[in-house]
Chains A and B, each alone.
Chain A
Amino acid sequence: MTRAPRLLDDAGPAAPPRKNGELVFDHVWEGRLFGLTMALHESGLFAWDEFRTRLIGEISAWERRHPQGEGYRYYERWLAAFEGLVIDKGLCGDGELSTRFQDLLARPPGHDH
């Protein structure tokens, strides 16, 4: 299980936030998305570099749109990169993702996970 973190960049724009060498997740969904991405990669459905290239692309596109750099969220870029990857790979349809998102949005509050 230690192989997964070795995929991650230590430096540069694609390197995830770390504190004292450990990954930093500000929200639970970030950790789950991280786990989902790693798990799907371990299933052999994409090469890590395919994801990494997209992540770098998402980050630099965001930086072009936000030259001041305010409001940057690493895992938001990760999310955009991962969505693009699964759609382009045909693992998930664009339409069904939007539908599921709307369904989750309409869910009554206070539900159990």
Chain B
Amino acid sequence: MSRDGEEEHGHEHSENELRAEALETLLTEKGLVSSEAIDSIIRLFEEDIGPMNGAQVVARAWTDEGFRRRLLADANSAIGELDLTTMLEAPLVVVANEPSVHNVVVCTLCSCYPSGLLGISPAWYKDPSYRSRIVREPRRVLSEMGLDIEPSTEVRVWDSSAEVRYMVLPARPPGSAGWDVERLAKLVTRDSMIGTGRPRDASAVESGK
């Protein structure tokens, strides 16, 4: 959705950003609109529309071992095989979660993000706190975000840049055996492809659409 890598390093608050924030804070304080209502509209674009391309890639990798191997070896050309209306503007590396390895993506310098696959990046991804802390204390940050990683599982943090972007291939949820790509894609969340969440439980999607 958004252009990749356009956020300037160190450029935190533009005048426009502050004007927009002034409007949002005043209107919410007056009770004319709620943060929840704003968030749910934004989620519509971030969660429901934005990461659809990434979800297709993940679901395909879950069902097609050959594609999975090609994806992990050369993500840009593997994704080029799929009929996706997206553009990957930077080299992409896909890193797979395994029982012994959990991967998580950050951009410590700014907010580089594979937006062609994941849509607009969430606000917390740009937050200075996430960007610095996920490197220093990834388990703790993930735990605060609701994702507890087994002590025996290694956590690998991947730092995106303008030269290379990363996306996580999450583990296929149990209970989804025999599902087709379309159904599997519904399990894939944005956060599971950043590495700060897991895919949905199969039971959440199982009972119809």
Residues of A within 8 A of B (CB): 1, 4, 19-36, 38-40, 42-43, 45, 73, 75-76, 79, 82-83, 86, 91-92, 96-97, 100-101, 104-105, 109-110, 112-113
**Which of B16, B34, B85 is the one whose CB lies under 8 Å from A79?**
B16
A20 vs B20: C-alpha distance when bound (angstroms): 26
Q: Are B128 and A110 in contact (CB under 8 A)?
A: yes
In the complex, residue of chain A having the shortest beta-carbon distance to the beta carbon of B44: A1
Closest Cβ–Cβ distance, residue B26 to chain A (whole Å): 5
Tally the A-B contacts, defined by beta carbons under 8 Å: 130
A38 vs B23: C-alpha distance when bound (angstroms): 13
Residues of B within 8 A of A (CB): 1-3, 6-7, 12-14, 16-27, 30, 32-34, 37-42, 44-46, 49-50, 85-87, 119-121, 123-124, 126-129
Q: Are B18 and A104 in contact (CB under 8 A)?
A: yes
Chain A residues, Cβ within 8 Å of B85? 20-21
A43 vs B45: C-alpha distance when bound (angstroms): 19
In the complex, residue of chain A having the shortest beta-carbon distance to the beta carbon of B126: A28
Chain A residues, Cβ within 8 Å of B46? 31
Instruction: Check A97/B23 contact, CB under 8 A, given A24-B1, A91-B30.
Output: yes
Instruction: Check A100/B12 contact, CB under 8 A, given A32-B38, A39-B37.
Output: no
Q: Are B39 and A101 in contact (CB under 8 A)?
A: no
Where chain A touches its partner, the secondary structure class is: helix
Q: Are B16 and A76 in contact (CB under 8 A)?
A: yes
Choose among B1, B12, B13, B86 the residue with the greatest number of A CB atoms under 10 Å from its CB: B1
Closest Cβ–Cβ distance, residue B112 to chain A (whole Å): 14
Q: Are B16 and A32 in contact (CB under 8 A)?
A: no
Q: Are A36 and B27 in contact (CB under 8 A)?
A: yes
Instruction: Check A40/B32 contact, CB under 8 A, given A79-B19, A92-B27, A100-B25.
Output: yes
Q: Are A113 and B123 in contact (CB under 8 A)?
A: yes
A113 vs B3: C-alpha distance when bound (angstroms): 23
A101 vs B42: C-alpha distance when bound (angstroms): 23
